[in-house]
Amino acid sequence: MTTAPPEPAAPVAEETGVAAAAVEELAVEELAAPVEPQVEVYGIRHHGPGSARSLLAALEAFRPDVVLIEGPADADPLLHFAAAAGTVPPVALLAYAADDPAVSAFWPFAVFSPEWQALRWALAADVEVGMCDLPAAQVLAPPKPDLFDTADEDEPDGGRVDEGAGPGAADEPEPAEGVVAAEPVDPDAPLDPRRWARVDPLRALAEAAGYDDPERWWDDVVESRLDGSSPFPLLTEAMAELRRDPGRPAGRDALREERREAHMRQTIRAAVKRGRRRVAVVCGAWHAPALTWPLPPAVADTRVLRGAPKRKVTLTWVPWTHGHLASTSGYGAGIASPGWYEHLWTAPDAPVVRWLTKVARTLRAHDLVVSSAHVIEAVRLAETLAALRLRPLAGLAEVQEATRAVLCDGDDRAARMVTADLVVGEALGAVDPSVPMVPLEADLVATCRRLRVRREPKARVLDLDLRRRIDQERSQLFHRLRLLGIDWVTPAESGVQSQGTFRETWSATWRPALAVALVRAAVWGTTVESAATARVQDRLAGGSLVELTRTVEHCLLAGLPDALQRLLEVLADRAALDADVVHLMEALPPLARAQRYGDVRGTDTRALRQVAEVLVLRICAGLPQAVGGLDDDSAATLRGLVDQVGSAVGLLAEATEPAEDAPVPAGSGLRERWFAALAAVVDRRDVHGLLVGRTVRLLVDADRIDDAPARVERALSHGVDAAAKAAWVEGFFSDGALLLLHDTQLRDLLDGWVTTLDEREFTDLLPLVRRTFGTFTPAERRALAGRLAARGGEPAAVEPVDLDDELARAALGTVDLILGGSR
């Protein structure tokens, strides 16, 4: 059987080859065609746990190639430190001008800040991450004076949070000086929300939703969301509507906002140009519509950014606190409840139950009785209030009301305590040791670690026993910091009663702004000791005599022997040239105290005592000429200096005068010289009564005169002006309750003088006399009133009168208070 030959296959093969070539060519063309980038903009509110939770879910779903975060663009080299083991939020990026560290700005982050969570997500996922806002070099640059002719010129921010850069008030623009609105805006007026959206966009959206509280609206819509669903598209749409404001602002702040958004858009374009096709942008919700893809042509943004002033700056990470995230601290993007927001972030399951349990624990720590039944009832009340108010979850308002009503039994003081401890809180963050810092701060951190001194945001009282070596070194550190102007640790009152010189009490409270103070002090040296020494030497040129003596005291307590030696040389020369007795009297007490504290520290103070003795001799020689013809204010000032010099002479004499049984030439001791100078004043008629009374009293206390009753009687005799008598009494009897208690003659003289005053004189002199007796303790006043009441003898010729006890009760109560409650 013959089979017909098959049809030729060549045309089929040809056709198949052509089709394959066409498919291949089409694939090459598709690969060569540019792929449209996907840019997702997430408009968040800074420091919001709901925003952070929704943002993480959105990033996981989008899986971007690069994450751009609102923050200073020149901080990119520092971002990897956010993943370091020792970095614990709250922390902040600190930028300061290299030529003037006081010009600085902070960009703070909490653990619940969306920017922080986006940064940590990108670092953990090994995704490119960077900041997209204006560089700190432009934020801290001084503005050009010829840009705007306005009455109020903006100055660079110094030592405070920059409210418009990084995590600041970007999503909630605040009115600022230099911004001129198209029409006056009244936030309380029921106007079109777009007219005042730039002042408070959240309030505009809240009122549109029927809320009277923007914080409550935001909490319901965003922060209380526990499902992680994305609110960002709707927020961007709402902000786009609000930005359609017919009145555009003008001025320097408006230009800065334009530059910020222009720089963000340029950063997005740069990422796309580098080949990134999935770009995630995390910014304040207000800026989101301006960054949505596709972007407008870059020509306008280039023109806005051209010519922007710049400044050389340094950036680093520093610890931050919850207290400085709070709006009450003055932070522009502050929140009312950092502690509550952290709780929402760290305890998403059963947040109300866990929160009220923490409240109960806090109240118990303050010795308030709170049971488990209280907590259960408070949880029920908070959830019931939320249901009645149609809220998805009990918020801060509900838990605070439940806390006050159930756990605090309506006590507002206990509720305020909860607010301070929990709602705001004082958590202090930490930065990893590998973070670059100035050498001075590195030395301080190492020294604090060695001396076991912790930096804490809450005030902590430190009682030091200078007989212990470690406490001596702590004291020296604290005094060195005070010389540098770093007031982290300040002197405080001790609750322990002690007269010894071996005890010091300090109060330590760490604040983030101290990081700037450390940077400013770093110009003096690389260690705390070298910087304090250089700071003392710098004061030698322009310091007055009083300032130098006070510096001597601080220098001795700070343990700076090299600086002290040079300081004493300059002080001796300055004291020899200063002829003002008042200056000499002001300069002596710090030297005496320094010598006293030098003894307990084992410091050689012989050179210091020599300067002090010279000052005493010059004061004694010039005092008689300095006390004549003074008015009331000058006499009061000199009276205080006389007391201080007397105490200082006593301290110096204890160390300089020989033993009592040693032969001493008459008048050779410091005490003798001082009392001789006082004795030359007491009988002069041109000296103010306040000073005469005081010098008589000092000589009586020192057993240098024995005619005190006669002098008191002469000072209170007829013919002396009543005001002069009162001044004399104030000088003599201030702090002199023991004299009146144990010297009957003096007490009778004073009582007789008071009873002889007529109504006008008594009214005029009562404030002066009360000021005198106000220096007595309540116990001394009670004892004195008892002596007067128990005085023997009947009053002379007092006619009996009928008293109305009801009318006299108020007057008698006042007298009882004056006399210290003796009745």
Give the model confidence (pLDDT) of 567-593 as tens digits: 877 877 777 777 778 888 887 887 777
Residue 117 confidence (pLDDT) above 60:
yes
Q: Which two tokens stand for residue 624?
A: 């008689």
Residue 439 confidence (pLDDT) above 70:
yes
Give the whole-angstrom CA distance, residue 120 versus residue 444.
Answer: 29
Per-residue pLDDT band at 391 (split at 50, 70, 90) = confident
Residue 308 near residue 15 (C-beta atoms within 8 A): no
Of 110-114, 236-240, 613-617, the least confident? 613-617
Q: Which of 641, 630, 621 is nearest to 546 (CA)?
A: 641
Q: Average pLDDT, stretch 66-82?
A: 94
More confident residue, 781 or 400: 400
Of 352-366, 445-459, 736-750, 773-787, the least confident? 736-750
The residues pairing with 191 across neighbouring beta strands, listed in sequence order, are none
Per-residue pLDDT band at 603 (split at 50, 70, 90) = low
- Give pLDDT, residue 272: 94
Q: Average pLDDT, stretch 735-743?
A: 69
Q: Which residues contact 343 (CB under 8 A, 6 or more apart)?
A: 351, 354, 355, 358, 422
Percent of the chain with pLDDT over 70: 77
Residue 72 near residue 95 (C-beta atoms within 8 A): yes
- Give pLDDT, residue 65: 94
Residue 495 confidence (pLDDT) above 60:
no
Phi-psi map region of 175: left, alpha, beta (phi>0 left; psi -120 to 50 alpha) = beta
Give the whole-angstrom CA distance, residue 378 versus residue 384.
Answer: 10
> DSSP secondary-structure letter at 82?
G
Residue 246 confidence (pLDDT) above 60:
no
Q: Which two tokens stand for residue 246?
A: 């017919």
- Give pLDDT, residue 34: 59
- Give pLDDT, residue 729: 76
Residue 114 confidence (pLDDT) above 80:
yes
- Give pLDDT, residue 172: 37
Highest mean pLDDT among 28-42, 190-204, 454-468: 454-468
Q: How many residues does the chain have?
A: 823
Q: Which two tokens stand for residue 666?
A: 């008459």
Q: Which of 79, 99, 239, 235 is nearest to 156 (CA)?
A: 99
Coil, strand, or helix at residue 99? coil
Dihedral over alpha carbons 112, 115, 116, 117 (to 10 degrees): 70
Q: Average pLDDT, stretch 639-666?
A: 66
Q: How far is CA 535 from CA 485, 522, 530, 575, in A?
A: 10, 11, 9, 21
Neighbours of 321 (CB within 10 A): 25
Give the whole-angstrom CA distance, residue 360 versus residue 407.
Answer: 7
Of 153-167, 627-641, 662-676, the least confident? 153-167
Coil, strand, or helix at residue 563? helix
- Give pLDDT, residue 199: 58
- Give pLDDT, residue 817: 72
Give the whole-angstrom CA distance, residue 112 versus residue 90.
Answer: 9
| 584-611 residues labelled b (16+ CB within 10 A) or e (exposed) | bbbbbbbbbbbbbbbeebebebeebbeb
Coil, strand, or helix at residue 385? helix
Residue 821 confidence (pLDDT) above 60:
no
Q: How far is CA 662 from CA 617, 658, 659, 666, 808, in A?
A: 22, 6, 5, 12, 63
Q: Average pLDDT, stretch 16-27?
A: 47
- Give pLDDT, residue 81: 94
Residue with tokens 């009882």: 816
Residue-by-residue DSSP string for 7-50: PP-HHHHHHHHHHHHHHHHHHHHHHHSPPPPEEEEEEE-TT-HH
The identity of residue 325, as a single letter, is L
pLDDT tens column, 700-716: 778 787 777 777 777 76
The identity of residue 779, as a single letter, is A
Residue-by-residue DSSP string for 736-767: -HHHHHH-HHHHHHHHHHHHT--HHHHHHHHH
Confidence (pTM):
0.67
Give the whole-angstrom CA distance, residue 772 versus residue 818.
Answer: 12
Residue 685 confidence (pLDDT) above 50:
yes
Residue 348 near residue 52 (C-beta atoms within 8 A): no
Q: Which two tokens stand for residue 300?
A: 């306008």
Residue with tokens 């349990």: 357
- Give pLDDT, residue 656: 53
More confident residue, 522 or 165: 522
Of 315-319, 426-430, 748-752, the least confident? 748-752
Q: Which of 142, 159, 154, 156 is nearest to 106 (CA)?
A: 159
Highest mean pLDDT among 601-615, 701-715, 739-753: 701-715
Residue 358 near residue 343 (C-beta atoms within 8 A): yes
Q: Which of 357, 150, 135, 403 is nearest to 254 (CA)?
A: 150
Residue 754 near residue 769 (C-beta atoms within 8 A): yes
Give the whole-angstrom CA distance, residue 575 versus residue 608.
Answer: 13
Q: Which two tokens stand for residue 309?
A: 């002033």
- Give pLDDT, residue 18: 43
Tell me whether the omega of the peptide bond preceding residue 433 falls within 30 degrees of 0, making it cis: no
Crossing angle of helices 372-388 and 351-365, rounded to 10°: 140
- Give pLDDT, residue 719: 63
> DSSP secondary-structure letter at 407?
I
Residue 267 near residue 73 (C-beta atoms within 8 A): yes
Q: Average pLDDT, stretch 769-774?
A: 72
Q: Which of 246, 245, 247, 241 is nearest to 181 (CA)?
A: 247
Per-residue pLDDT band at 58 (split at 50, 70, 90) = very high
- Give pLDDT, residue 136: 93
Summary mean pLDDT of the chain: 77
pLDDT tens column, 182-213: 333 344 444 444 444 555 677 777 787 777 77
Of 10-14, 272-276, 339-343, 535-539, the least confident? 10-14
Q: Average pLDDT, stretch 677-701?
A: 83
More confident residue, 7 or 440: 440
Residue 187 CA, chain-centre distance (Å), reads: 31
Residue 792 confidence (pLDDT) above 60:
no
- Give pLDDT, residue 82: 94
- Give pLDDT, residue 758: 73
Per-residue pLDDT band at 336 (split at 50, 70, 90) = confident
Give the whole-angstrom CA distance, residue 706 versus residue 710.
Answer: 9
Per-residue pLDDT band at 262 (split at 50, 70, 90) = very high
Give the whole-angstrom CA distance, residue 635 versus residue 124.
Answer: 72
Q: Which residues contact 340 (CB under 8 A, 6 or more apart)?
A: 355, 396, 399, 422, 423
Percent of the chain with pLDDT over 90: 20
Of 88-97, 161-170, 322-331, the least confident? 161-170
Q: Average pLDDT, stretch 590-607?
A: 65
Q: Average pLDDT, stretch 332-360?
A: 83
Q: How far is CA 444 from CA 14, 511, 536, 786, in A?
A: 83, 15, 18, 58
Coil, strand, or helix at residue 257? helix
Residue 325 near residue 430 (C-beta atoms within 8 A): no
Q: Which of 178, 235, 231, 225 is nearest to 205 (CA)?
A: 235
- Give pLDDT, residue 157: 36
The residues pairing with 461 across neighbouring beta strands, listed in sequence order, are 507
Per-residue pLDDT band at 737 (split at 50, 70, 90) = low
Burial class (CB in 10 A: 0-12, 13-18, 19+), 44: buried
- Give pLDDT, residue 444: 92
Per-residue pLDDT band at 291 (split at 50, 70, 90) = very high
Pairing mode of beta strands 38-44, 278-284: parallel
Residue 468 near residue 504 (C-beta atoms within 8 A): no
Per-residue pLDDT band at 330 (split at 50, 70, 90) = low
